[in-house]
Every structure is written in structure tokens, then in C-alpha cells.
Amino acid sequence: MSATQSHGHAAHGGHDAGHGHHELPFWRKYVFSVDHKVIGIQYAVTALVFLFFGFTLMMLMRWQLAYPGQPLPVIGKLLGENAMPGGVMAPEFYNQLGAMHGTIMVFMGIVPLAVGGFGNFVVPLQIGAPDMAFPRINMASYWAFLAGGILMLTGFFVPGGAANSGWTSYPPLADIATAGQTVWLFAMVLLITSSLLGSINFIVTIVQLRAKGLTFFRLPFFVHAQFVTAFLLLLAFPPLEAASVMQLMDRLAGTSFFLPSGLVVSGDPLRVAGGGSPLLWQHLFWFLAHPEVYVLILPAFGIVAEVISNNTRKPLWGYRSMVYATVFLGFMSFVVWAHHMFMTGMGTAMSTFFQTTTMIISIPSVIILTALFISLWGASIRFTTPMLFALAFLPMFGIGGLTGLPLGLAPSDIHLHDTMYVIGHFHYVVAPGTIFAMFAGIYYWFPKMTGRKMSDFLGKLHFWPSFLFINGIFMPMFIVGMAGVSRRLYDGGLDYSHAQGVLHWNAFMSVSAWLLGLAQIPFIVNLFWSMRKGAKVGANPWEATTLEWAAAPSPPGHGNFPEIPTVVRGPYDYSVPGAPTDFTPQHHDLVEA
């Protein structure tokens, strides 16, 4: 891994003298490393692999949706007679693909990349710290993630295949589902453990290890975003862990936490004590899963804020408002969860409460998005590859957010719940939303991690088709959903008489998805090529103000900073009147040029 190969050399120049620095063996330096930069890259690479795998699952699903009942050439036979008899997708396999796609993308793809990857690599550098507060716990959290991720994937190989009750694992179905669901539950316990260890580390690091002069309101917005995200993970995941234990008890110990009395399965009454509540699972699941979606978006806001301020050569507009909005958002995210449950027969009191809180929570999101838009006003925009992705994020997240409003209001949700409209809504936020922000982050911080720049040409070749095709997949989902096509339907609505007029969109969306897959090839090529052959850069090729760029080499060495910086100004002092350059690093006084 060239990042850390060169880190050894870069470090020697400015390394603190007199400290006995013994070279670590290969497996301690690159495999069982406690260095946040190595761990961050491990997280990022692993997460990207899982992301591409999850994407592949979806590309398979989209064949079935575009051409229901048609054999899939070549690949169909490779997947075996259980999953694809005669090359035609079995409904049970479709359900596995659906449940695993969601699970993998959310828990093994985006969060580990956004928090484990970017958070780990960037946060200590941005706060002027030599590493995270607990380096060994950091390492443990990565390995728990990897173990959980691998365990999750083994679900495909157990009798009955992988988990197939949706990423939401609702009982009673999940309680009585095939063995893959048990694998899912154990894997989730490992993934949640990883997350908890990580979130503790982030909070302690940000509170305790900030460099001298780095007060809370001088922190880059990215750090604020990660800070609030860590609190969400810390306090929201445990109820899902408890629920997973209870579902495991139901499946393995015969309890009836989630099984109501009198349940009949395939004509036979289920021989359990009963007396349980499927709704209990939903409450506990969504208590996590709603804050989880803010975990998915906050780091993205953070990355976009960094990239925008750097490429507009202006301070962020409304930085303080953005910080307050983020904290308020984090708090509110804990009291909106049952807007996912409007159709469960809740009374008007509960429904009113959650509609109100849901409408309120849209305010901080709008504040943040507006501040980012206004930050572009009067700017000297550099259309670098990261900036393209960051700019695209803004309207895409806007669409995602706006389409959430009819879902958050119970009367309209009656029509839209569990339709493809919902899929369109959340994918807009997460795919051209968060994932675009992740790409922005990769292009932006790749030079810091490796000391080389990625190809701008390949970057643009990645961006434009991706932007086009991603809209091609998700925009029609609103149309199809409003026409009444349900989600998780193996035939894409083929048997619905009311959906006949919109069925043609299925093939359109599928082709867009496959083309989107192809559009990632320039990115993958770029990554591997640039690691070896990319143009070498110095510490601060983007001419940024924040500490990771201005005070540490590319890549940073052991301990990160040749001299621990003292911060004297805010994070976005671009174009300060009277300054010699259009950026003034956080640790520079204006007197010295």
C-alpha cells in the first residue's frame, strides 16, 4: 500500500528526535496497525469492496425487474439451480438480493466508508492530533467490522440462502425465516459492536485531542458532522442490538418476543407461547434506523462543506448556523422514528406527534443545504473533480429531501408507503446524495493519503455518465411508485392492472443501472493507476486552510505533524483581505507570509 510505504520516508525528515522509533514488522504496520491513517484506509477499501458487491446484487435484481421470468444469460447458470433455476431468478433469491443489498449498502458500505474511512483518516489530522484517543480500540473496531461483514456474506451459503426478510427484518416473517436470518443477526451484533467502539473513539478524540487554540467554533464543519454522527451511533444502535438479541432468542430459544398469539403459518398454528408484539421490533428497529439515515447524510454534508469552501475560495456562508442546525438535527433524529410506521394502525395522538417532529426536522436540513448553496454566491469556483461531485450533491439531496415530505405526512403516506416512491426518495438522498459526496471525498483526500493526484480526465469521465445514469435509475421510481407499484415486488408490478401504464420504466431503470455500473470503471482504473502513476503532489495541492492540508505532509508520517500546530483562526479563512495568498491556514498568523 503506497500510502504507508511512503509515510515511513516522509516521517523521518520531521520526526521528533530522541524518541526511539523502531520499525514495525509488515503485519504490525499494514495489517494489525493501530495508526488511524492505516485503519482509515483499511475501512475505506473494505467498504468500497462491499459497496461494489452490494451494487452487483442490485444489478442482478434489476434484470428480473426489467425482464421478469427471463433467463439471465451466462451469469444465470453460474449462480446455481437454487437461486436461478434454468437461469431464471427464483422469487426467494430476489428477496435475498433485496435484503442483502440494503443491509450491505447501509451497514457495510456507506457508514464504514463515511465514518470508519473518512472519519478515521481525516478527523485526527483536522484537529491537530497525533492519532485517535484509543488506537487499539480503533484497530479492534475495524476487525469487528471485517468479521461482521464477512459473516454477513456467508449467509448466501447457508441452506435457504441469505437473509430475505428485507433489510428491516420485520417479524413475524423474520422470526420464522430461513437460517440466513440468524446469520444476519449475529453479523449485525458484530457490526454494531464495531460501530460502538468507533463512536466512543470519535467523541473522546474530538473532545480531548484538539490542538491548542482549536476551540469548538474553529473546527472544520466536517469534524462537527462526525461529532454529531458519533453521538447518533452511540445512543441509537444499542436498541437494535437489544432487538437483535430478542429476535435471536425467538429464533433459537423459542421465545415469542415478536410473535403474537394465534399465528398460523401455511395452515398450521405456530407452536409457540405467543403474546409477543411484532410492533415492538418495529419500534426498536426504527429507533436505530432513523438516526441511522442521519448517520448516512451528516458525514456527506461534512465532506461537501469542505470541498465547497476550498473550491469557492470563500468562507462557508452560515457556518455557525450549520453547526447549530447539525446539533439540533442530531437531537431531533431520535424523536421521529415512527414516521416509518404510520401504516401500523397507530392512533392519532402518536401519528400527530411524529408528523410534527418530522416536519420540524426538515428545518435544520434545509438550513444546511441553503447555507451550502449560498456559499456558492460570488464565489470563484474551481471545477475540480471533487467540486463536480459536491455541486451535484446539492440539488440531488434537495430532490431526496423534498420527496421525503409527502412520506412524513401521514395522509399522503397512506398512498406512498411501501411503494417504489419510497425507494426513489431514499436512494436520491443516499446515492446521488451521500455516495456522490463520498466520491468527492475520495478525489479530494486521495492526494493527502497517497501523495499523488488522481487523474482529472478520468474523474470527469466518471462524473458525467454517473450523474446522468443515476438520475435515470431513480427519477422514474417516483412515477412508478405513485402509480401504485409496491416495493420488494419480484415482478416489478407486472401483475398489477393499475401499473400497466408505467411498466416500461422498469427496463429503462435497469439499463440505467447497468450503464451506471460501467461508468464506475474509469473510477476504479483511476484509483489503481493514480496510486502508482498519479502526479506527485506536495502537502497542500488544493491550497486549503484546514490542518490536514496546511500542517501535515502528503502522506503524513508517524505522529502526523512534524510540529504540533497551534490554531489561531477559524477553518475557512479564504480570501482574507490583506493576506498574501487567497488562503490563510488555521495555524498561520497573518503577520508571517
Partner 1 sequence: MEHTDPDSIRRQTKIYVAVFAALATLTIVTVTVSYLHLSAVPAIAVALLIASIKGSLVAAYFMHLIDERKAIYAILILTVAFFAVLMFVPSFGNWDQRILR
Partner 2 sequence: MEIPYTVEPRPDTGLYNAKLGIWLFLASEVMLFGALFSSYVLLRTGAPVWPHGRDEGLNVPLATLNTLILIASSVTMVMAWASVKLNDRKKYRLYMGFTILCGLAFLVIKGIEYAHKFETHHYPSTNTFLAIYFTLTGLHGLHVLGGMIVNSYFWGPGAKLFARDPERFGNRIEVAGLYWHFVDLVWIFLFPTLYLL
Binding residues (CB under 8 A) for partner 2: these are 16, 19, 130-131, 133-135, 196, 199-201, 203-204, 207-209, 234-239, 241-243, 245-246, 249, 253-257, 272-273, 275-277, 279-280, 283-284, 287, 558-559
| Least gap, CB of 235 to partner 1 (angstroms) | 6
Q: CA-to-CA distance for 191 and 187, rounded, in angstroms? A: 6
Q: CB of 438 within 8 A of CB of 113?
A: yes
> Does residue number 335 form part of the binding site for partner 1 (CB under 8 A)?
yes
- From candidates 143, 353, 496, 508, binder to partner 1 by CB under 8 A: 353
Q: Closer CB to partner 1, residue 132 or residue 527?
A: 132
Q: Closer CB to partner 1, residue 208 or residue 380?
A: 208
Sequence-ordered alpha helix ranges (H) in 434-550: 436-450, 456-482, 504-519, 521-533, 547-550
> Does residue number 207 form part of the binding site for partner 1 (CB under 8 A)?
yes
Cell 436540513 belongs to 365
Q: Which stretch binds partner 1 (CB under 8 A): 87-95, 298-306, 328-336, 460-468?
A: 328-336
| Least gap, CB of 158 to partner 2 (angstroms) | 23
Sequence-ordered alpha helix ranges (H) in 333-435: 348-374, 385-408, 410-416, 420-429
Q: CA-to-CA distance for 107 and 144, rounded, in angstroms? A: 13
Q: Half-sphere exposure of residue 519, counting CA atoms within 13 Å on the CB side?
A: 19
CA distances from 439 to 304, 435, 448, 520 (A): 10, 6, 15, 11
Residue 348's binding partner, choosing from partner 2, partner 1, none, with beta-carbon cut-off 5 to 8 A by kind?
partner 1
Residue 349's binding partner, choosing from partner 1, partner 2, none, with beta-carbon cut-off 5 to 8 A by kind?
partner 1
> Does residue number 279 form part of the binding site for partner 1 (CB under 8 A)?
yes
| Least gap, CB of 40 to partner 1 (angstroms) | 25
- From candidates 55, 287, 294, 428, binder to partner 1 by CB under 8 A: 287
Q: Closer CB to partner 2, residue 108 or residue 203?
A: 203
Q: CB of 135 within 8 A of CB of 35?
A: yes
Q: Which residues is 452 bridged to in the sheet?
A: 536
Closest CA to 217 of 330, 321, 329, 333: 321
Residue 338's binding partner, choosing from partner 1, partner 2, none, with beta-carbon cut-off 5 to 8 A by kind?
partner 1
Cell 443515476 belongs to 470
> Does residue number 170 form part of the binding site for partner 1 (CB under 8 A)?
no
Q: CB of 42 within 8 A of CB of 488?
A: no
Q: Alpha-carbon torsion 449, 450, 456, 462, what sign?
A: negative
> Does residue number 350 form part of the binding site for partner 1 (CB under 8 A)?
yes
| Least gap, CB of 352 to partner 2 (angstroms) | 20
Per-residue burial over 483-501, b if 16 or more Cβ lie within 10 Å, else e, is bbbebebbbbbeebeebee
Residue 565's binding partner, choosing from partner 1, partner 2, none, with beta-carbon cut-off 5 to 8 A by kind?
none
Q: Half-sphere exposure of residue 452, counting CA atoms within 13 Å on the CB side?
A: 18
Residue 245's binding partner, choosing from partner 2, partner 1, none, with beta-carbon cut-off 5 to 8 A by kind?
partner 2
Chain centroid to CA 489: 25
| Least gap, CB of 505 to partner 2 (angstroms) | 41
Q: CB of 231 within 8 A of CB of 148?
A: no
| Least gap, CB of 330 to partner 1 (angstroms) | 10
Q: Which residues is 243 bridged to in the sheet?
A: none
Q: Closer CB to partner 2, residue 279 or residue 568?
A: 279
| Least gap, CB of 346 to partner 1 (angstroms) | 5
Q: Closer CB to partner 2, residue 235 or residue 507?
A: 235
| Least gap, CB of 184 to partner 2 (angstroms) | 19
CA angle (15, 16, 20) in 5-degree steps = 95
| Least gap, CB of 127 to partner 1 (angstroms) | 16
H helices, E strands: number in the chain: 23, 2
Residue 199's binding partner, choosing from partner 1, partner 2, none, with beta-carbon cut-off 5 to 8 A by kind?
partner 2
Residue 82's binding partner, choosing from partner 2, partner 1, none, with beta-carbon cut-off 5 to 8 A by kind?
none
Torsion of CA 430, 434, 435, 441, to 10 degrees: -170
Residue 343's binding partner, choosing from partner 2, partner 1, none, with beta-carbon cut-off 5 to 8 A by kind?
none
Torsion of CA 24, 27, 31, 36, to 10 degrees: -10
Q: CA-to-CA distance for 333 and 236, rounded, in angstroms? A: 10
Residue 335's binding partner, choosing from partner 2, partner 1, none, with beta-carbon cut-off 5 to 8 A by kind?
partner 1
Could you give phi then psi for residue 574, rounded to 5 degrees? -90, 150
Residue 334's binding partner, choosing from partner 1, partner 2, none, with beta-carbon cut-off 5 to 8 A by kind?
partner 1
Q: CB of 307 within 8 A of CB of 387?
A: yes
- From candidates 219, 338, 416, 449, binder to partner 1 by CB under 8 A: 338
Torsion of CA 220, 221, 224, 230, to 10 degrees: -110
Residue 19's binding partner, choosing from partner 1, partner 2, none, with beta-carbon cut-off 5 to 8 A by kind?
partner 2
- From candidates 1, 34, 176, 280, binder to partner 1 by CB under 8 A: 280
Q: CA-to-CA distance for 6 and 471, rounded, in angstroms? A: 40
Residue 256's binding partner, choosing from partner 2, partner 1, none, with beta-carbon cut-off 5 to 8 A by kind?
partner 2
Residue 465's binding partner, choosing from partner 2, partner 1, none, with beta-carbon cut-off 5 to 8 A by kind?
none
> Which secondary structure element, helix H or strand E, spans residue 149, and what is its range?
helix 135-154
Q: CB of 391 within 8 A of CB of 305?
A: no
| Least gap, CB of 256 to partner 2 (angstroms) | 6
| Least gap, CB of 495 to partner 2 (angstroms) | 36
Site size toward partner 1 (CB under 8 A) is 19
Cell 437531537 belongs to 331
> Does residue number 239 form part of the binding site for partner 1 (CB under 8 A)?
yes
Interface residue list for partner 1 (CB under 8 A): 207, 231, 235, 239, 279-280, 283, 287, 331, 334-335, 338, 344, 346-350, 353
